[in-house]
Amino acid sequence: MYKDLRITVIIPCLNEEQGVEQVLRRMPPFVDEVIVVDNGSTDRTSEVARSFGAHVIREPVRGYGRSYKKGFAHASGDIIVTLDGDHSYPPDAISYLLEAFLHLEVDFLNASRFPVRDRRAMSFKHYIGNLVLSIAMSLLYFRWVRDSQSGMWVFRRSILKDMVLESDSMAFSEEIKIEALKNPRVRFEEISILYSSRLGEIKLNPWRDGFHNLFFLVRKRFTRRARS
């Protein structure tokens, strides 16, 4: 519990046995529930996560968005905190993100990886790709978001019921922020965290995922969807 709020941390993992161990070792003690969504890993991700007391859920169909939707369905906290299983986002930041979340009185707090302080953490190509995607999202939604692709967010679980989350892929990261921004009842803020190099093997395909995310942004902005 953190100031009377139940905290759930969700970590999507595709073959992250190395990274998830480091993430779970650094998990702050006030976290009530840690959900690791194992997205069909062929390594020891699930065993390692279980050995650190995480609740492991399997999502056999690949996809970052798919993993999160599965994780959300199992979460019981008042507040959900997310981060990657590759140890690139700092678990140590969870306490100050929660403090900022409460202090700023927001419903969705995005942890921005910018400015990047550790040069090894992000290649120049990824830096430019991230910048282009964030500018595109900011222009399309009339709101400056420095890191549209960040994978670390803190939000009230209750806001999920008003969100239409369709992406099963990497575009899920921008989609959840768009859904938060679009809702006038959801207060959105962003603060910086320290981003570092990932452990384990890279899964992101920068060109494929970058263009997919860009097209997703445009399509989501200009197609009207019936609420289900």
Taking CB under 6 A as the binding criterion, the range among 10-18, 73-81, 106-114, 211-219 that sits at the site for ligand GTP is 10-18
Among 41, 67, 88, 112, binds Mg ion (CB under 5 A): 88
Contact region with ligand GTP (CB under 6 A), list: 79-87, 155-163, 178-186, 217-225? 79-87
Task: Specify whether the CB–CB gap between 89 and 193 falls below 8 A.
Answer: yes
Three-class secondary structure of residue 139 per DSSP:
helix
**Distance from C-alpha of 12 to C-alpha of 71, rounded to nearest angstrom:** 8
Q: Is the link from the previous residue into 115 a cis peptide, with omega within 30 of 0?
A: yes
Smallest distance from the beta carbon of 183 to Mg ion, in angstroms?
27
Q: Stretches 102-110, 139-147, 201-209, 218-226: which one binds ligand GTP (CB under 6 A)? A: 201-209
Instruction: Using the Cα atoms of residue 105, residue 131, residue 163 and residue 67 in order, give the sign of their dihedral.
Output: negative
Tokens 């040069």 correspond to: 119
Nearer to Mg ion, 86 or 175 (CB): 86
Beta strand ranges found along 157-227 (DSSP E): 188-192
Of the candidates 86, 147, 175, 190, which one interacts with Mg ion according to CB under 5 A?
Answer: 86
What does the binding site for ligand GTP look like in residue numbers (CB under 6 A)?
A: 12-14, 16, 39, 62-64, 67, 84-86, 88, 151, 198, 202-204
